[in-house]
A and B are shown apart, each in its own frame.
Chain A
Amino acid sequence: MSTRMLIIVVTFTLLSGCAQTWVKVTQSETVSPASTFAASLPLGWVRFEAEEDVLLVTRDGLALQTVLLRRSDLKLAFEKIKKDAEVGMLASELAELYVAETKQSGEAENLKVKSNHPARVAGRDGFRLHLVYANAKGLRIDRVVYGFVDTKGFFTLSYTAPKRYHFERYLQNFESTVASFRQLQGNA
């Protein structure tokens, strides 16, 4: 499920009146629904209780900032471009596929890659991408995403926010979350 579709599902669930889907982050570490990873989320933010193996949090609303930590199965990890993630793929190859998937998903076909560097996440070699695009209303959106792959799946940690006012303001919160990220045995 693409990031955009996930947010649409979340919004729909919220609007349908389900009162128990958002919980405040009060603990120092949060474990994913399938117990495959854990991270320290920004205290005081709110987390959506998803069924998928994701941790989705925001402070002021998904349109203003979204932190999304997710594990995808290797098979069709890149659904729109019909590609699998593979153990042994280079980080640069994963980053390429992530960009192609994001462009094809309709979220941001006009996106530009501001930077693309190797990065370490939970001791694994991965990538750090900084993407910029304009949404349908012309608002500039920035996204930083870390990603890596291993036998347990394709992991991505992303932070998306409008450049104006919000992006820089909470970027450090996200970077702290990334630094705290660790993998668990899990149920997956």
Chain B
Amino acid sequence: MTRSIYLVMSIVLSATVTGCATTSTGKFSNAGDVTRHSAEEERLWEQARSFDSALAARDSVYLDEPATSAYVQEVMDRLYPEFKSTIRVQLIRSPQLNAFALPNGSIYFNVGLAARLDNEAQLATVLAHEGAHFVNKHSLQSQRNLKNSAAFANTLAMLGIPFIGDFAALSSVYGYSQDLEREADEVAFERLQQAGYDTREAAKTFIYLLEEVETLGIEEPFFFSSHPALRERIESFNLLSLAQPSDGGIVAAERYREMTLKLRIAVLEYDLAMNRCESVILVLERDDVQARYPAYAAYYLGEAYRRCGDNHPIEKAMHAYQKAIRQNPDFAPSYHALGVQLYKQKKYRQSRQYLQRYLDLQPDGEHAGYTRHYLQVIDKETR
């Protein structure tokens, strides 16, 4: 979806929202509260449940690392202990910068966004912000302010944009009104303090995301990759920090990196699988960022150079593979990658060594079929 389509949607959305002061809807006080809601809220919850089911059916939820999923939920439960088992965080298998809350307490958090954060306090900032949208019933407030939601849905259909369930879910694209976003920031800040997090990390979260978006040239339409939305969050949290300065608290950078290590590798693999190789290059060429990845990360950098071959000579890829082998001699894919490049250059003797080493390490690996084929060709050529 292009930026121009989203610009049109912004205009349409603005035209359909009254812009008047939001109608008070109250908020949830605890988990017991959420079972008591109006018919209007029940309709929103029903839509949210349908969305939950649809997402699960599409195998979009990242379940590869149960420990990571449990860790993220643990952070949310620390922020909103009275809503334990009600606010449920699920990681989504997508490299894009996105997170959103549904009116029924489902919070969806893309692994791409998680991979870009630096520590647990930053994770907590985003979770606290999204949790606030649920607790303060922002979906209901926004729904009531829509002048004509049917017209909005029709406009979406006209633009050919998939209606992913509900206006509330689409807030992941636009966010809510400025007032509601600031309210979410205030609630989040308070929750961070109560949970013992270093609130100086709150503004840093969005400064860091803005740097990532600018450096990587990310042009996704989502709230957490939108320049204006990120600048607004930075300003909002800076004001809150000025009013209530912090002198410390939980940051937990090491724990965060440890718990999200496999997730970050998965995001590199998702990016490569979609040929988003420049994203991988821009991340891994930064020494400070590469230090947070395991030693074999140079292999992924090599793969990105190879795939973005137009802009990078193959020698860069080969150097990266060699670095990965030096730093982690047991990581099999590096041998396959280097062996294939030598095979293409008809350096059969050298190629054979690396390809055979790959098979020694991973006889049933994903590249085994091709590796055996190349070795057969080499044997024929060098007979």
Interface residues of A, Cβ cutoff 8 Å to B: 81, 83, 90-92, 96-97, 99-100, 103-104, 109-110, 113, 116-118, 125, 133-138
Closest Cβ of chain B to A89, distance in Å, is 9
Complex Cα gap A90–B344 (Å): 8
Closest Cβ of chain A to B217, distance in Å, is 16
- Whether the pair B57, A100 counts as a contact (CB closer than 8 A) is no
The residues of B that contact A137 with a CB separation of less than 8 Å are 54, 57
Complex Cα gap A2–B251 (Å): 46
Complex Cα gap A97–B306 (Å): 12
The one of B59, B307, B373 that contacts A134, using a Cβ cutoff of 8 Å: B59
- Whether the pair B340, A92 counts as a contact (CB closer than 8 A) is yes
Assess A92 versus B370: contact at CB under 8 Å? Given A83-B275, A104-B274: yes
- Whether the pair B93, A116 counts as a contact (CB closer than 8 A) is no
User: Chain A: interface secondary structure?
Assistant: mixed
The one of A91, A116, A138 that contacts B54, using a Cβ cutoff of 8 Å: A138
The one of A91, A133, A134 that contacts B370, using a Cβ cutoff of 8 Å: A91
Complex Cα gap A96–B340 (Å): 14
Instruction: Given contact pairs A136-B58, A138-B58, enumerate 16 new A-B contacts (beta carbons under 8 Å).
Output: A81-B274, A90-B344, A92-B340, A96-B307, A103-B274, A110-B60, A110-B93, A113-B366, A116-B369, A116-B370, A117-B370, A118-B370, A125-B373, A133-B59, A134-B59, A138-B56
The residues of A that contact B94 with a CB separation of less than 8 Å are 109
The residues of B that contact A104 with a CB separation of less than 8 Å are 274-275
Complex Cα gap A81–B56 (Å): 28
Residue of B nearest to A96 (CB): B307
Residue of A nearest to B310 (CB): A83
26 A–B contacts, CB within 8 A, in A order: A81-B274, A90-B340, A90-B370, A91-B370, A92-B370, A100-B274, A103-B273, A104-B274, A104-B275, A110-B58, A116-B366, A116-B370, A117-B369, A117-B370, A118-B369, A118-B370, A118-B373, A133-B59, A134-B57, A135-B58, A136-B54, A136-B162, A137-B54, A138-B53, A138-B54, A138-B57
Question: Which residues 25-47 in B have Cβ within 8 Å of A in the complex?
Answer: none
The residues of A that contact B58 with a CB separation of less than 8 Å are 110, 134-136, 138
Question: Which residues 290-311 in B have Cβ within 8 Å of A in the complex?
Answer: 307
B227 close to A (CB within 8 Å):
no
B78 close to A (CB within 8 Å):
no
- Whether the pair B59, A100 counts as a contact (CB closer than 8 A) is no
Complex Cα gap A91–B373 (Å): 11
Question: Which residues 325-383 in B have Cβ within 8 Å of A in the complex?
Answer: 340, 344, 366-367, 369-370, 373
Interface size for chain B: under 10, 10 to 19, 20 to 34, or 35 or more residues? 20 to 34
The residues of B that contact A90 with a CB separation of less than 8 Å are 340, 344, 370
Question: Which residues 88-136 in B have Cβ within 8 Å of A in the complex?
Answer: 93-94
The residues of B that contact A100 with a CB separation of less than 8 Å are 273-275
Instruction: Name the residue in A110, A133, A137 with the highest tally of chain B Cβ atoms < 10 Å from its Cβ.
Output: A110
Residue of B nearest to A84 (CB): B310
Complex Cα gap A97–B272 (Å): 10
Complex Cα gap A103–B57 (Å): 18
* 3 tightest A-B CB contacts, nearest first: A138-B57, A100-B275, A117-B369
Closest Cβ of chain B to A96, distance in Å, is 7
The residues of A that contact B307 with a CB separation of less than 8 Å are 96
Closest Cβ of chain B to A16, distance in Å, is 19
- Whether the pair B273, A99 counts as a contact (CB closer than 8 A) is yes
The residues of A that contact B344 with a CB separation of less than 8 Å are 90
Closest Cβ of chain A to B21, distance in Å, is 38
Complex Cα gap A96–B277 (Å): 13
The residues of B that contact A81 with a CB separation of less than 8 Å are 274-275
- Whether the pair A110, B370 counts as a contact (CB closer than 8 A) is no
Complex Cα gap A117–B373 (Å): 9
